[in-house]
Amino acid sequence: MLHLDGSTLEGGGQLVRNALALSALTGKSIKISKIRNNRKGSTGLKASHTAAVNFLAQVCGGTLVNAYVGSSQLTFYPEGSQPEVDVRPKKQKKGKAASKSSTANGTTEKDVEGLQDSLEDLHISPALPVAPPAKPEYNIRLQTPGSIFLIFQAIYPYLLYSGAFTDTGSPDDSAARIIKVKITGGTNVSFSPSYDYVSQVLIPNFAKLGLPKLSVSLSERGWCTGKIRLGTVSFEIEPLSTKPVVAEESKDGLQEPDKGDIGSEQAEESKSIPGVSPSPPCFPFMNLASHDPGRITQIDITILAPDFPIDEPMTHGKPPGYSAKGLSKQRHRSSKDLDHPPWEPEIDEPTADDSSHQDQIYDDEEGPDAPSSSQTIREVLEEYVFRSVSRAFGANCSPQPTPTIDGSTSSSEELAPLVKIHTSERTHHITHIYVLLTAHTSTGFRLGGEALGLHSINTDGAPIDRHKRSKGKSKSRGKSGNSNKSSPSGVPDDIHDRLQNMVDRCLAGLLAETENGRARRCLDVYMRDQVVVFQALGKLTENTDATCRPLDEKDEELSLHTQTAIWVCDQVLGVRV
């Protein structure tokens, strides 16, 4: 049995999720101790961590010991690895903690581990074992708005692999092996990816790096602030190919998956085993160092905010007499509807009234601190974001081709990115405010910078890394120098400054990923730790020596989350990326 120290490096829930995901894939039993031991305040498993590992155990048919909220150690036996003993914990007696050292039939966990070690060979071979076929549909429901996407992070690698073993009658019929996963929980939650980041950044990057098709759709948003509500997201997962997928260098220097043919003898042999694919599924090999990060060509803006008048008093986060039914039915605007800034009138020829409105918006002397008093919170936020991004990147709203020395035309977009409103969506509570900036690169990658809620603003406007929790309550300083002051209705007196500060924080996160109009790396700091597991699995299943390739980046350039993911892969798989 493999033992991991759960307090290593970042030492949070990500370590547990990644370790159990790899355990399920390899068939190695694993025990994690000192879970979140270096956290200030409460340690051990939180409700969201417990939910993630329990759902993973359900999906892969594994068995968990000590998987309860507050547990500082956890043992996981993947399907086929657990010994013939009852490892279910004793029923918890009222007023007493559940037993952490013995099973329901009196067998201690130490006895179970000893028997387990004698039954398994520790899977020294790098090949992944055959997995039971995945079910066509899963429905996962959280009782609280915990992050949907952290749950998905735990089960996605296993479903990608096990879905390849579904017998559809044809190894090339990937559509028939589509796995549908519906998860109810939180879509916009602190310290976790949002739905918007996943759909606009994570999934396109996964596809760029060679992973099979993955789609996500939003039914309803779930927020963990204000009036608590659950959201629902549906995923459609195309599993790995039953043919080996090896990324090769193309003529333009980009990696594209190459599906090689399998030998007829191997195919016939595998066909004789019911439910087993003709060839072991392979994760694509990902060498990030071979990719050109590219220049920034476009920046998409996503804004979620209420349509409350920005200067109107509110009660319980809403204006008096507010009714969502009484407002416009338009809840969502996309980039195709917003070819011009949302606050700018769409006109063919300017009139006196229109020009005065436009002058008011773009008057640099007034600046973003002087919006119209009739504007809504969402309109003010749209204005602040568009103005700040355009100034920071020297961007163009609609770049026009310009003649070059040789007479040909080149777009000014080559020098400055195009800024567009991708999504502007109305919410119904003052705490439900979110901004995402998605930068497209010339080589097809996406970088993201996001900010959630006015409460997450530092005094100095510095970006808050969702990988690094604040030690104290964040504060915002207004013009008067007073922090966290609110009107009697509960609305901050300095809401204009807080909105701009939120924009500055979000923009600073994106600017940190760029340099002189180019992406510093092909993946942003949040995305980087999401691909480590797949990099390691790609090296594990490729035909070359997993240790012969250099690291993609220097360790000092990697976030603590990424370093932790690398450490987990090294411990469980014996592969370092």
* 332-373 pLDDT, tens digit each: 444 444 444 433 333 333 333 333 332 333 333 344 444 555
What percent of the chain has pLDDT above 90? 48
H or E element that contains 30: strand 30-33
Average pLDDT of the chain is 74
Phi first, then psi, for residue 395 (nearest 5°) are: -80, 165
Say if residue 511's pLDDT is above 50: yes
Q: For residue 130, what pLDDT is reported?
A: 85
3-state secondary structure of 541: helix
Confidence of residue 18 (pLDDT cuts 50, 70, 90): very high
Q: Which pLDDT belongs to residue 525?
A: 95
When mean pLDDT is compared across 46-55, 62-71, 155-164, 179-188, the lowest value belongs to 46-55
Strand, coil or helix: 315: strand
User: Looking at residue 256, what is its pLDDT?
Assistant: 46
User: Would you say the C-alpha torsion 19, 572, 243, 273 has a positive or negative sign?
Assistant: negative
Rounded mean pLDDT, 387-403 = 68
Model's pTM, two decimal places?
A: 0.74
Every domain of the chain with CATH number 3.65.10.20 lies at: 1-129
Residue 148's pLDDT band (cuts 50, 70, 90): very high
Helices within 133-202 (DSSP H only): 148-162, 195-197
Q: What is the pLDDT of residues 253-295, one digit of tens each?
A: 444 444 444 333 444 444 444 444 356 788 999 999 999 999 9
Residue 236: in which H helix or E strand, if any? strand 231-237
Minimal CA–CA distance to 149: which of 460, 454, 450?
Answer: 450
pLDDT tier for residue 177 given thresholds of 50, 70 and 90:
confident
Q: Is residue 328's pLDDT more than 50?
A: no
Least confident of 61-75, 175-189, 430-444, 551-565: 551-565
Q: Is 369 helix (H, G, I), strand (E, B) or coil?
A: helix
pLDDT at 414: 57
Identify the CATH number of the domain defined by range 1-129. 3.65.10.20
Q: In what order do the strands lie in the sheet with 63-65?
A: 2-5, 30-33, 74-77, 63-65
Confidence of residue 444 (pLDDT cuts 50, 70, 90): very high
Averaged over 516-520, what is the pLDDT? 93
Cα-to-chain-centroid distance, residue 560: 16
Mean pLDDT of 516-529: 95
Tokens standing for 304?
Answer: 């979620």
Task: Tell me what pLDDT residue 570 has.
Answer: 96
CA–CA distance, 441 with 518 (Å, rounded to integer): 8
- pLDDT value at position 349? 35
282 Cβ contact list (under 8 Å, min separation 6) = 240, 241, 243, 244, 245, 246, 538, 541, 542
Q: Where are the alpha helices (DSSP H) in 295-376?
A: 352-362
The residue-averaged pLDDT of 391-410 equals 55
Q: Cβ of 503: how many Cβ atoms within 10 Å?
A: 25
**Residue 438: is its pLDDT beyond 90?**
yes
